[in-house]
Chains A and B, each alone.
Chain A
């Protein structure tokens, strides 16, 4: 006799989603379905027809959790469409911005899972540690990109300006001083994850790794010919779920994939573990990767070099690709500039890639672990929503009238 367990909305994640699990008599999940119920943002439609430099300014506001990756993916898509050759310093400053921002974002996730893994006597220590890392990491974004949340100085063609030598030395010193703190933080998290006693094999999936680069992102990885997008009705075998799901299902080579810290670690850092523990471990360890890259960039940055290329905003009709490794996975923005205006725009965002994979990852274990599996992916639904609820009464998304944006 199968029973249905529904968690709605799933908690301690950004945006709203639902986890529907079919369980057997022992409470073991036999079928897991995870889907977004977050209202649509619609920013891709808003930027269409506008000047190309508008796109990053608008699209960074898709969400306040990943504003930096969205800014970078958007600006890189426009850069690519306009065939801009970025100055070396601009590339470094952008990568520095992302490294610091992702370090900050991973720290936030430890705050979100604190009630899952941190015992009461260590709670203050763990939360303060998160706060301290975030403060320094966001200070880097503030200085380099102009604003910590919606950076104003990431521009089509590079960065608005270089940082001063004083700022470079300050940031270098502060990030160096942060190394022991991040090391201690990572040790703490790894220890707590181990002590939590997640069942062996929880959350293990064997989907292809969707990761383009170790740190920044590589647009060459995203081959549009290998990408397809299907509607939730044809993916979820539960019509009720298919009707209410607010995201399309993106497939690469015809299958759903896994994106995020574990995918990057497995593809680029020789990491072999899988499942919930592996997600937490790889995310924590990745904080060290970001911090050391940020320090390395500050060491080699030439603060007197130009950061902004000359840009011809008329456009070449080329479909530009911006591919940025956001905290939760690869964030792809596609943009086509036609006659000086954005003609086409689409964002294929990190959590969208993981949504079809996360539900099935709950299968084979007791449903009480379901929410832990979901949180291990650190889902963020705000940017993932791409279809619109047309009936407010029953929250349904009518297939034929689906707004695809």
Chain B
């Protein structure tokens, strides 16, 4: 159960070129939320929308596919999407909401659905949650440190950030800059070190690059609802797939990373408990 419960594991990418162009990897989050919106499975989605500052996202209640596409691509800092869920069902008037969340946000969402304190009439309106694989998340100042101080570039020049092959990458028009991933350690949010969830185990569908070839994503369909939406999006031709065992590096690496995050978290939790520090789980 190192990847949580799931019904299907598959390698996939969005077929739409306009999504491929802006997406981080396979464009699965964008394709799935757009499909759910077009099929009226959801009326809108809370996504990590762009702001005037590059790579500093802000929750956006997207009511159109264009707005969903505007939020494509990974930002390695926090977008408090859970906060905006209530806004979506209140002033935005949505009764069927979709969202994208990292594992810690999913824990919040599922807990809120179980105990809806101060979230009256919200729990039942969340219809579709896409989770993204997440090893850690950085405060915005950490990203600035990587780009400005360690890579001697600037946020404005950066077109895309990525983590892969043991490195943190920043792409500009002319260069591919990188620093070893171990140089980013200590800059992550403190909570990430006690988080045992790498693959967004509480989502309807979770996705991320690990395990899939470049430009593709690994997709884990977890719930009936999530599998049904994913399968229909494939059937509709919006997503193309390859069997997981036909691609390199494959599910093994995902399992290895997930297991590593769990082991490290357990060690850190033990350490904090011994120091008398509060640990949420």
Contacts and interface: CB of A to CB of B under 8 A. Distances in A.
A251 interface: no
Q: How large is the interface on A (under 10, 10 to 19, 20 to 34, 35 or more residues)?
A: 10 to 19
Interface in A153-175: 153, 161-164, 166-168, 170-171
B264 interface: no
Interface string B83-95: 0001100111110
Interface-centre pick from B87, B92, B93 (highest chain A CB count, 10 A) = B93
B49 to A, nearest CB: 15
B121 interface: yes
B82 interface: no
A143 B120 contact: no
Given A164-B63, A166-B43, A166-B63, A171 B120 contact: no
Most buried by A among B61, B87, B90, B120: B90
A171 B95 CA distance: 12
B93 A162 contact: no
A43 B160 CA distance: 53
Interface residues of B, number: 13
Nearest to B118: A147
Q: Is the interface of B mostly helix, strand, loop or mixed?
A: loop
Contact of B93 (A143, A146, A153): A143
Nearest to A162: B91
A147 B93 contact: no
A148 interface: yes
Nearest to B61: A164
B43 A143 contact: no
A142 interface: yes
Interface string B41-79: 001100000000000000001010000000000000000
Nearest to A144: B91
B91 A170 contact: no
A146 B83 CA distance: 13
A153 B120 contact: no
Given A147-B120, A148-B120, A166-B43, A142 B90 contact: yes
B63 A146 contact: no
Nearest to B121: A142
B121 A166 contact: no
Contact of A163 (B44, B63, B93, B120): B93
B91 A164 contact: yes
Contacts of B63: 164, 166
Nearest to A303: B91
Interface string B130-147: 000000000000000000
A164 B92 contact: yes
A101 B139 CA distance: 42
19 contacts: A143-B90, A143-B93, A147-B120, A161-B87, A161-B91, A162-B91, A163-B91, A163-B93, A164-B91, A164-B92, A164-B93, A166-B44, A166-B63, A166-B93, A166-B94, A167-B92, A167-B93, A168-B93, A170-B93
Interface of B: 43-44, 61, 63, 86-87, 90-94, 120-121
Complex A-B, nearest 8 residue pairs according to Cβ-Cβ distance, in ascending order: A167-B93, A164-B92, A163-B91, A166-B93, A170-B93, A161-B91, A146-B90, A143-B90
Given A166-B94, A167-B91, 8 more contacts: A142-B90, A143-B91, A148-B120, A153-B90, A161-B87, A163-B92, A164-B61, A166-B43
